[in-house]
Chains A and B, each alone.
Chain A
């Protein structure tokens, strides 16, 4: 995820974009880089599951034992988010792998 582009779309879409993208617990921090990381994680989860949920907020990124995990319905996926320069990168691991 290219952070400046993310910031631009976030600004455009405003509060509605924020609410459609993030659960309240995720958008707690208004830090754009942080949000871009969560967005990247959600995209990674979609790719790992091979299916796009009806709503992006159906994916919840939370910290569990200080490590981020993604919850989608009954599933829980391990994820990793990192930032490098203008980019936020995330990897999601399917449970059965």
Chain B
């Protein structure tokens, strides 16, 4: 798929306008748009930017996490030839300001909670409000001609203190790279991709660009945690992920540890032994249980950023998930090589893209040529020139080998960039500049020490101070660094001076060698803690920072030193490592290890959060249920209750789905309210019932589900999943009837509303209709099985009201309460 410029790229969305483009659930409501709608938003975005005075070549900065608005802003910028400067939302204010100082953006978009101090120095807008900002602009392509040579993005590759280098990529750089990737990987438009790496990283940026060109559905997360990812894999039936190796390692550990806890580890090991002899389909059957937790649809994971450990890649391959890896740099927009889906797994970074030329220089450095190679470092001619050979090859700075049939294998980083397991790059020079200023440090050399899934930052120190003082110094240095740059460990260089190169610079290569061989043994002894095969004990030991802590099953956690702080750390670790979510309120001072084990084994897997019975919403059941309700049930209730309905005219022209709220005075109120609404509404109406009521009475549960399409709300400890479920029903077009008081009113008076109703009304923005009954109380009290007396009931239906997005939940709840009281 070749696009000359982004005008053509965005035009293409018109050919796939019915396909689902982006999905995000920022809170409880899911927002989706098709490529047609997405295209319109991009056009609005472009016109908005023009109106803000953004011109061709101007820079626009974005400091926010991934979301559909991020892409609307990005592609809007591209359409008018402006340059986007994406900044990782995890960067500090200082770093961000440094990037801004260089690129002088006319407009900065930031996440709601990210770096509010930027507002003082720049014209800023909140990215979460983007759709509001652009809504009044025309969804028409802007009248701007693009050549494809425009600077599309400036992505910074270096950290705080050394001069950051802004890599300038043109529209052509990006689009030719996307073209190359799409020729190498046969993207199926029916894939569903989860966006987890930051879009400010060129790898995710190009990944999404490729997927969107094919009409793949992209899913965004409001927060990126292993838990949120696991849930999303399941909820969205994700088929493909772009990830850093660290995530795959984490999931591998989680699968293994869960198996140990469930005493399935032997079965799992056996499965892994026989897996290589099976075809892919059978592998997936064999690991069916694991796949179910991963959503059941995950087919491909493409890793980048750091090399994937062979055992981790092998683990995934054996389960029937393709683990592909690629190679590239931001400067190469970024993909140079990638493994192909069809090829067998091999320990290589893959073959070059069709439009990329690779060769290995005499000193082993990999050189690259192609239309994707970057134009320049932003306002840094000297650096730009230094990264190209005389005959125009880009020097990657990586050492490697290319086999005769073209497979690339990276051997090391010539530039000594330390690649953390997370894929973040740490530049030793950045740390040294800071560290050398410390009075207790004579000389320091930062190198990467290899760990199982990446490198860690290691310092070789020369100082005449004692260990305690150096520890303190390192701590102080770390405080001045970005989090990801922190020095993890250090050792004294055994001689008075570090070895030097001919140019009298510290010979980093030799120091790195020493750090990785000699010192490594000591380090692993120091940190060699985990001996227990029991993941729970390990988690407790980690929190206590005592690798030998002996904890028996009967021990109370509080007695071995797990206080409220450590308790939460333990719960968090269990959630991350085992994927099991335990409510905080379930653990207290009296909880023992054995209690905790029970909670974990029987605990809810975070992956299966939204499991609720849904048979009552199937078509045949609804037909039967509605029929019985209209005849039999209605007749029975009529014996006891005579109803007069007022205000039905208020429902004329009501846009469905809507939320109906009623006062809760009697067991009969839901049936009465149901019957007072027009048939077109009530045949599509689901009633919310309290969890404790519905679960306790089997017959009542069955009856209410069958006749009233009822679902249960948990009104005690965790209201959010219940609300999410309610919204998912509304999303599917069901009307909802709910009693916002929570409990039956004993004296018939209207009680305070739960703020949950406010949340529901505000977040969904749907019309709320008040239905008030009077004269019903006491007909069928909760504690009685049969009606106590006959009654004549008046049902009043109010006018629908809607709330704007910025109303507070409490205010909405209060207003609804007032209106119901008045009705």
Contact = CB atoms under 8 A, between A and B. Distances in A.
B572 A14 contact: yes
B189 interface: no
B572 A16 contact: yes
A20 B565 contact: no
Interface residues of A, number: 26
Interface in A9-60: 9-10, 12-17, 19-21, 24-25, 28, 30, 39, 43, 52-56
B425 interface: no
Which residue of A20, A43, A53, A56 has the most chain B CB atoms within 10 A of its CB atom?
A20
A30 B542 CA distance: 23
B511 to A, nearest CB: 27
A16 B576 contact: yes
Contacts of A10: 569
Contacts of A94: none
A20 B113 CA distance: 17
Which residue of B112, B116, B584 has the most chain A CB atoms within 10 A of its CB atom?
B584
Interface in B679-730: 717-718
A13 B225 contact: no
Given A24-B113, A39-B565, A13 B573 contact: yes
Contacts of B226: 16
Given A6-B565, A28-B116, A43-B564, A20 B571 contact: yes
Interface residues of B, number: 28
B480 to A, nearest CB: 13
A5 B569 CA distance: 11
Contacts of B717: 54
A6 to B, nearest CB: 6
B568 A17 contact: yes
Interface string B546-584: 000000000000000000111011011101100000011
B751 interface: no
B170 to A, nearest CB: 35
Interface in B526-543: 542-543
Contact of B584 (A1, A8, A9, A20): A20
B227 interface: yes
B722 to A, nearest CB: 14
Main secondary structure of the interface of A (DSSP, over half): helix
A43 B564 CA distance: 9
A12 B542 contact: yes
B584 A54 contact: yes
Interface string B461-489: 00000000000000000000001000000
A20 B545 contact: no
A21 B568 contact: yes
Nearest to A9: B569
B113 A9 contact: no
B585 A20 contact: no
Contacts of A24: 112-113
Given A13-B568, A28-B116, A54 B573 contact: no
B530 to A, nearest CB: 13
Contact of A9 (B225, B565, B585): B565
A13 B565 CA distance: 10
Nearest to A53: B585
Contacts of B584: 20, 54-56
A52 B565 CA distance: 13
B583 A28 contact: no
Contacts of A25: 113
Contacts of A20: 568, 571-572, 584
Give 8 closest A-B pairs by Cβ, nearest first: A13-B572, A9-B569, A17-B572, A16-B572, A13-B569, A54-B585, A15-B225, A54-B717
Interface of A: 1, 5-6, 8-10, 12-17, 19-21, 24-25, 28, 30, 39, 43, 52-56
15 contacts: A8-B545, A9-B566, A10-B569, A12-B543, A12-B573, A13-B568, A14-B576, A15-B225, A17-B572, A19-B223, A20-B572, A54-B585, A54-B718, A55-B583, A56-B584
